[in-house]
Amino acid sequence: MMITVKKLNKMSSRVDVIFNDNCVNNPDETNPDVILLRSFDMTDYPVGDKLKAVCRLGAGVNNIPHKEYAKRGIVVFNTPGANAHAVAELTIAGMFLAARHVKDALFWMQSLPADDNLKTTVEKGKSAFSGFEISGKTLGLIGFGQIAKQTAKMALALGMKVASANRTFYTAEMLDREDLSGVEFKRDFDEVFKFSDFVSLHVPFAAELKGFVNDEKFAIMKNGAVLINNARGELVDSESVKKALESGKLSAYVTDFCPKELLNVKNVIALPHLGASTAEAEDNCADMIAAQLTDFLKNGNVKNSVNFPDVFAPLKKTHRLLILGNESAVPEIKAIAESINADVVSAVHKSGTSAALADSDEELDKSLFEKTSGVYRVLKIK
């Protein structure tokens, strides 16, 4: 069976290892089996009935209607952690930009006439950009995923104090194993906002988090604190940022997702979504997606999906089906498999959806499972 792939963005050529005699790249395909993308917005993108997988080379998936796709049995993959180092480095850079007033100093320097008085002018004017050192200051991390962990390691190495709050319980041994023993965990995120000199956002966007950082959060922050947002623009209320900057509650807002309302606002340091824009991060994402997609197409294994649970098992028999449905479908899937002497080698349900792998040495009739209540789609893998 020929698999057609369509790329919706420019990406690292290392992803091209997936292409072979049975898997081809076709930029003109209107009904592909697989779509690869980075930042392309698929909200209103027409999707054909052949589409099996959407692969996001990156972590955020707010540009993909993945919940809707789940009901059509379309698996959405991402690459968590593949760009973590790149985003963490940009977060550290943002702290330096804000603490040392680099942007304003750079623009002022570029505005000066190149004359014989340059040195004198610089020495007289440089005091306007006097800043502070980040060593000894507290960095508060809102979220503690892969990017936040990388940021924490870098900040600790620079002599900073690091605080976070997370629902996941970390033992001292776990933190020590990841070189994160210096991180202090507060009772909740409000405590992190309250005691931090820098607050950096590292949570995925969800509808309930729109405007998460607002007047209430700024009210409990230190005077003159710096907010860094390399996560998602919608997490921060723009009008609240303006008020916090005008009052001095916030000394700077550094963001990789600048809305039009904050462009050119004093003390807003706006970057053009540079977080994952390094050659290394793009290669990492490409390598990770290539491995996940190959395993999915060849073995039916699902790893790092955002709309279905991970399900995987070695293929030891001649035939395999991947059965995708809602979380109530698993018992009936198992019953049908048992009735036809097929093995359900793995079945997982999580957050409203389920995925199951059924193996047999005999040809499997996928229609038996398709009639099952709660099943969205059955893919014949072998």
Q: What is the pLDDT of residues 89-124, one digit of tens each?
A: 999 999 999 999 999 999 999 999 999 999 999 999
Task: Kindly state the percentage of the chain with pLDDT values over 70.
Answer: 100
Does residue 359 contact residue 306 with C-beta atoms inside 8 Å?
Answer: no
Give the model confidence (pLDDT) of 140-162 as tens digits.
Answer: 999 999 999 999 999 999 999 99
Dmax over Cα atoms in the chain, in whole Å?
Answer: 91
Give the model confidence (pLDDT) of 18-40 as tens digits.
Answer: 999 999 999 999 999 999 999 99
Residue 307 has pLDDT above 90, yes or no: yes
* Sign of the Cα pseudo-torsion (78, 286, 69, 381, in order): negative
Give the model confidence (pLDDT) of 212-225 as tens digits.
Answer: 999 999 999 999 99
pLDDT value for 127: 96
Give the model confidence (pLDDT) of 320-377 as tens digits.
Answer: 999 999 999 999 999 999 999 999 999 999 989 999 999 999 999 999 999 888 999 9
The active-site residue, picked from 133, 273, 280, 338, is 273
Which string of DSSP letters, residue by residue, matches 225-256?
EEEEE-S-GGGB-HHHHHHHHHHTSEEEEEES
Q: Taking each helix axis from N to C terminus, what angle separates 84-99 and 279-299, rounded to the nearest 10 degrees?
A: 150
- Of all helices (H) and strands (E), which one includes residue 358? strand 353-360
In the residue annotation, 319 being an active-site residue is answered as no
What is the distance between the alpha carbons of residues 85 and 217, in angstroms, rounded to a whole number? Answer: 28
Q: Do domains 84-270 and 309-382 have the same CATH topology?
A: no
pLDDT band at 167 (very low <50, low <70, confident <90, very high): low
Does residue 341 contact residue 374 with C-beta atoms inside 8 Å?
Answer: no
What is the distance between the alpha carbons of residues 258 and 230, in angstroms, rounded to a whole number? Answer: 10
Which residues, including other chains, have CB under 8 Å from residue 208's CB and lie 6 or more apart?
A: none
360: β partners: 319
SS (H, E, C) 288-353: HHHHHHHHHHHHCCECCECCCCCECCCCCCCEEEEEEEECCCHHHHHHHHHHCCCEEEEEEEECCE
Instruction: Give backbone dihedrals phi and psi of 34, rounded to 5 degrees, phi first.
Output: -140, 140
Residue 197 to residues 57, 145, 222, 252: CA-CA distances in angstroms? 33, 21, 7, 11
Residue 168 has pLDDT above 80, yes or no: no
- Listed range (43-47, 174-178, 239-243) with the worst mean pLDDT: 174-178
Locate the domains of the chain by residue range: 1-83+278-307, 84-270, 309-382
Instruction: Give backbone dihedrals phi and psi of 66, rounded to 5 degrees, phi first.
Output: -70, -30
Which of residues 166 and 326 earns the better pLDDT score? 326
pLDDT value for 207: 86
Q: Give which of 192, 198, 189 is closest to 167, Cα–Cα.
A: 189
Residue 232 has pLDDT above 90, yes or no: yes
Could you confirm whether domain 84-270 is CATH 3.40.50.720? yes
pLDDT value for 125: 97
Does residue 160 contact residue 140 with C-beta atoms inside 8 Å?
Answer: no
Q: How confident is the model over 272-293, as a mean pLDDT?
A: 96
pLDDT band at 1 (very low <50, low <70, confident <90, very high): confident
Token pair for residue 296?
Answer: 């999915």
The active-site residue, picked from 66, 232, 349, 377, is 232
The active-site residue, picked from 68, 216, 239, 261, is 261
Residue 273 has pLDDT above 80, yes or no: yes
Residue 2 has pLDDT above 80, yes or no: yes
Q: Give which of 139, 131, 135, 133 is closest to 106, Cα–Cα.
A: 131
Please give the model's pTM, rounded to 2 decimal places. 0.87
Q: How confident is the model over 259-264, as a mean pLDDT?
A: 97
Could you confirm whether domain 1-83+278-307 is CATH 3.40.50.720? yes
pLDDT band at 382 (very low <50, low <70, confident <90, very high): confident
What is the distance between the alpha carbons of residues 313 and 379, in angstroms, rounded to a whole number? Answer: 16
Fold adopted by 309-382 = Alpha-Beta Plaits (3.30.70)
